[in-house]
Amino acid sequence: MALEKHVFGGIDIPGNTDIKVYEEHGGYKNWKNVLQNKMQPEEVIEVVKASGLRGRGGAGFPTGLKWSFVPKGTDKPKFLLCNADESEPGTFKDREILEKDPHQLIEGMAIAAYAFGAQTAYVYLRGEFVKGWKMVEAAIAQAREAGYLGENIFGSGFNLEMYTHRGAGAYICGEETALIESLEGKRGMPRIKPPFPAVEGFYRNPTVVNNVETLAAVPKIIENGAEWYRQWGTEKSPGTKLWSVCGHVERPGVYEVPLGYPMKKFFEEDLGGCWKGRKLKAVIPGGSSVFTMTPDEFLACDMDYESIVEHGSMLGSGGMIIMDETTCMVEMAQVIATFYHHESCGQCTPCREGTGWVHKMITDIEAGQPQPGVKDLLFDVMDEMFGTTICPLSDSIVMPIKSMMEKFPEEFDYYIREGKSMITGKTRMAHKRIDDKPNVYRRGEPFNYPKAENFTTSFDTVAHETPEHEMPDLRYFRKVNG
């Protein structure tokens, strides 16, 4: 492999899940340094800010800035949550860190917790990652035994407790406020923001949620400084990023790539192009939730946040899905629709209903029984779904599917007209329409929403009365760091 791992080299060190091996390679040195040389929390935040590290879960929000939003001088306990709920289709980069280099994550979490004063940290892993969970559990136990976690770490007076928490198969819990809800034992339904978690998060206390990759990058940045990290990447997207590549590609896998690296070079030289010598047809570059790209757009862009947007998609989580010329785009749209329909939490109407409609309509097409005018209606429904919900799940089904329909219209038209795929020549869905009765959707009249000033109470004035049995007991958590 031509690409070298600069920040996540630990993944390739055999036995690095063991604390001894990790320490031999300089592990926990930075955490020790921060505490023993009395690096101030503000300094840590400044370094991370200067490095330009951005959230690697998908949103790309500057990490240092996120930490600095946590209010100072509050008597509320603060929490750090590590988002290891990696569920975005096409994304499998965090798993690599969890299973092969958990100590770097723990060290990063410790430094992050110190930076904004969190006393308790949780790693929220998706339930299916049993191996990763065991690795992180074991690593936390080792770190505690070695004195890197616990009370009064290295005599600095700083306390930090760290726990794992397993999710249970809900994609939506990767959204930060849904993750918080889930950690509170509730259904993972995203919250309306503001208030942002930094102010009111876990049990209404200041909380920072960061992705695994983001946190795991922190120790190296603290060790080598912001300038070192900035030697890679572009002005606006500094550093390196883990990309997970899958689908019809010669060498799928996880790659650490400097941001701004030319996509063409990456695809042709490092990935070896499409498998079986076939031609490239389409790519979804950032996990299944972003716009589909044509080969021209894809090969012209650079691998950073801005360039990919310029070329019509988004970097997202860096989960690249490659499709070759044998791929039927209608089938892909159906598979994607199935996923989002299944994973909608059901809170907002446009998403709950919309994902169902889109799924039904595309499945009808795939069964060779589309209703008249299905294409217009699909666009119509998707327009209603975009930007009208609390979280971006609704947008996430619209972006890939709408762009597929726009960029490969002939395939959709053919399937609707002929009742079979233009590519495979087959009708994929053997069954009848899902409901077994004619699907007729009505186009709704525009709805006049009541104006906010007509409400007798605004949401701001409603007092949040927490029933007795729901009152969190914060005594212990408050005590931890005085």
Nearer to other proteins, 31 or 79 (CB): 79
Q: Tell me the angle at which helices 29-36 and 102-116 cross, rounded to the nearest 10 degrees.
A: 20
Contact 362, 341 (CB under 8 A): no
Nearer to other proteins, 446 or 467 (CB): 467
Is 479 among the residues that bind other proteins (CB under 8 A)? no
Is 166 among the residues that bind other proteins (CB under 8 A)? yes
One-letter amino acid for residue 284 of the chain: I
Tokens linked to 347: 């809170």
Is 185 among the residues that bind other proteins (CB under 8 A)? yes
Is 247 among the residues that bind other proteins (CB under 8 A)? yes
Q: What is the DSSP string of 216-281?
A: HHHHHHHHHHHHHHHTSB-SSSBSEEEEEEEESBSS-EEEEEETT-BHHHIIIIIS-SBGGGPPEE
Is 472 among the residues that bind other proteins (CB under 8 A)? yes
Is 187 among the residues that bind other proteins (CB under 8 A)? yes
Contact 402, 382 (CB under 8 A): yes
Cβ at position 222, least distance to other proteins in Å: 27
Cβ at position 342, least distance to other proteins in Å: 6
CA 315 – CA 18 distance, rounded (Å): 33
CA dihedral 386→392→395→396, nearest 10 degrees, is 180
Is 387 among the residues that bind other proteins (CB under 8 A)? no
The single-letter DSSP state of residue 308 is H
Residues 15, 71, 169, 387: which binds other proteins (CB under 8 A)?
169
Is 67 among the residues that bind other proteins (CB under 8 A)? no
Residues 9, 62, 150, 253: which binds other proteins (CB under 8 A)?
253
Is 20 among the residues that bind other proteins (CB under 8 A)? no
Is 402 among the residues that bind other proteins (CB under 8 A)? no
Element (H, E) at 264: helix 263-265
The number of residues that bind other proteins (CB under 8 A) is 68
Which ranges constitute the DSSP H helices of 52-183? 63-68, 93-100, 102-116, 130-145, 176-183
Residues 252, 262, 356, 419: which binds other proteins (CB under 8 A)?
252
Residues 28, 67, 92, 116: which binds other proteins (CB under 8 A)?
92
CA 360 – CA 441 distance, rounded (Å): 11
Residue linked to tokens 């994607």: 336
Nearer to other proteins, 153 or 162 (CB): 162
Q: Could you tell me if residue 276 is left (phi over 0), alpha (psi between -120 and 50 degrees) or otherwise beta? A: left
- Give the residue from 442, 418, 291 showing the smallest Cα distance to 366: 418
Cβ at position 130, least distance to other proteins in Å: 4
Residues 246, 300, 422, 429: which binds other proteins (CB under 8 A)?
246
The interface with other proteins within residues 307-366 (CB under 8 A) comprises 319, 321-323, 327, 331-332, 335-336, 338-339, 342-343, 345
Is 272 among the residues that bind other proteins (CB under 8 A)? no
CA 90 – CA 316 distance, rounded (Å): 11
CA 467 – CA 470 distance, rounded (Å): 5
Q: Answer positive or negative: Cα dihedral of 251, 255, 257, 263.
A: positive
- Give the residue from 355, 333, 354 showing the smallest Cα distance to 342: 355
Nearer to other proteins, 87 or 234 (CB): 87
Nearer to other proteins, 142 or 205 (CB): 205
Is 422 among the residues that bind other proteins (CB under 8 A)? no
Is 71 among the residues that bind other proteins (CB under 8 A)? no
Window of 50-58, 201-209, 363-371, 440-448 that interacts with other proteins by CB under 8 A? 201-209
Strand 319-324 and strand 280-284: the pairing is antiparallel
Is 298 among the residues that bind other proteins (CB under 8 A)? no
CA 270 – CA 66 distance, rounded (Å): 34
Nearer to other proteins, 75 or 470 (CB): 470
Is 289 among the residues that bind other proteins (CB under 8 A)? no
Cα separation of the two ends of the chain: 50
The interface with other proteins within residues 124-163 (CB under 8 A) comprises 126-131, 161, 163
Order the strands of the 161-166 sheet from edge to edge.
161-166, 120-125, 79-84, 207-211
Cβ at position 416, least distance to other proteins in Å: 21
Cβ at position 128, least distance to other proteins in Å: 5
The single-letter DSSP state of residue 270 is I
Nearer to other proteins, 131 or 417 (CB): 131
Q: For binding to other proteins (CB under 8 A), which residues are involved? A: 77, 86-92, 94-95, 120, 126-131, 161, 163, 165-171, 182-188, 202-203, 205, 244-248, 252-254, 284, 288, 319, 321-323, 327, 331-332, 335-336, 338-339, 342-343, 345, 469-474, 476-477
